[in-house]
Amino acid sequence: MAYIFWLITFLFGTFVGSFLNVVILRLNTGRTLGGRSHCQSCGKTLGAHELIPVLSYCVQRGKCTNCNSRISAQYPIVEALTGLLFASIFWKYQVFLFTFFPYFVLISAYLILIFTLLMVIFFYDLRHQIIPNALSYTFILLAFFVPFVLSNTMMMPYTWSLMTFLSGPLVALPLFLLWAVSKGQWLGFGDVKLATGIGYMLGVSGGFASLMLSFWIGGIVGVILLVIGRNSKKLTLKTAVPFAPFLIIGCTIAFFCSINLSNIISFIQ
């Protein structure tokens, strides 16, 4: 029975994902979000059968039906990932679906807002190597209230403490130091802002766990990219690997798998 709900939330997510593609593509280009989608090469307006998330791309084998030019793989990837995201949120909080439906709606809506924002930041940073301030500040603001929303949803009134305000800056501190020492060469200040939001969202323990996951995954991918691209001279670590996507991957894994610092420490030992 639960599988049907998973499938429905996944499919719903893929449609939201195709909207996110439009946002990622048109953000800061001066174009509005309205208007029909069309081929980037020949300008052909896409019909309904060409706008089915993931499926259209596969059926058309990644090519425009009119001019045969390649369609960016970003489209089906964002759609599939958004579907997965929706299914993951459902999986983590499905217990509330039948017990506290209003909470289920509140928590799902809040997390969808946060993670779709992270998805846009992820792909925007991959494309442009920069995170627009409007996106990172919105993330920090939304992230600040995550512990509040979550604990109240679990019927445990949130207790405000000094850590409520310090967790963001504390988790961002190592990245800030790396940024300051390297004068912005190893990572950008956008990464520092992103880590601030992650600290607020996951708390100090979860935040540092998420940072460690990001460094590990980033390290592995960085080595793979260097090995693949060792013949190409223009490839250096800085240009090859923007760090924000890894911060977001680390944050997502730490959140959905509830990983904190003690999990990481017992894993290392």
Per CB under 5 A, residues contacting Zn ion are 39, 41-42, 44, 64, 66-67
Q: How does DSSP assign 78-89, residue by residue?
A: HHHHHHHHHHHH
Nearer to Zn ion, 70 or 128 (CB): 70
Could you tell me the smallest distance in angstroms from the CB atom of residue 65 to Zn ion?
8
Closer CB to Zn ion, 42 or 105, in the complex: 42
What is the C-alpha to C-alpha distance for residues 230 and 225, in angstroms, rounded to an integer? 8
Beta bridge mates, 38? 45
- DSSP code at position 6: H
Output the smallest distance, CB 162 to Zn ion, in A: 57
What is the closest distance, in whole angstroms, from the C-beta atom of residue 48 to Zn ion in the complex?
17
CB of 31 to Zn ion, least distance (A): 18
Task: Say if residue 260 is exposed, middle or buried (CB neighbours under 10 Å; 0-12, 13-18, 19+).
Answer: middle
Alpha carbon 238 to chain centroid distance?
21
Shortest Cβ 70–Zn ion spacing (Å):
10
Nearer residue to Zn ion within complex by CB, 57 or 122: 57
Q: Compute the least distance from the CB of residue 62 to Zn ion, in Å.
A: 12
Closest CB 22 distance from Zn ion, rounded Å: 17
Taking a C-beta distance cutoff of 8 angstroms, is the pair 167, 200 a contact? yes
Nearer of residues 64 and 244 to Zn ion, judged by Cβ: 64
Nearer to Zn ion, 42 or 73 (CB): 42
Within 10 angstroms of residue 241's Cβ, the number of other Cβ atoms is 17
Using left for φ > 0, alpha for ψ between -120 and 50, and beta otherwise, residue 159 falls in beta
Residues 6+ apart with CB under 8 A from 160: none
- Give Cα separations from 88 to 5, 109, 213 (angstroms): 11, 13, 19
Q: Which is nearer to Zn ion, 31 or 44 (CB)?
A: 44
Smaller CB distance to Zn ion: residue 46 or 106?
46
Rounded alpha-carbon distances, angstroms, from residue 39 to 30, 88, 127:
18, 31, 19
* 14 close to 79: Cβ distance less than 8 angstroms: yes
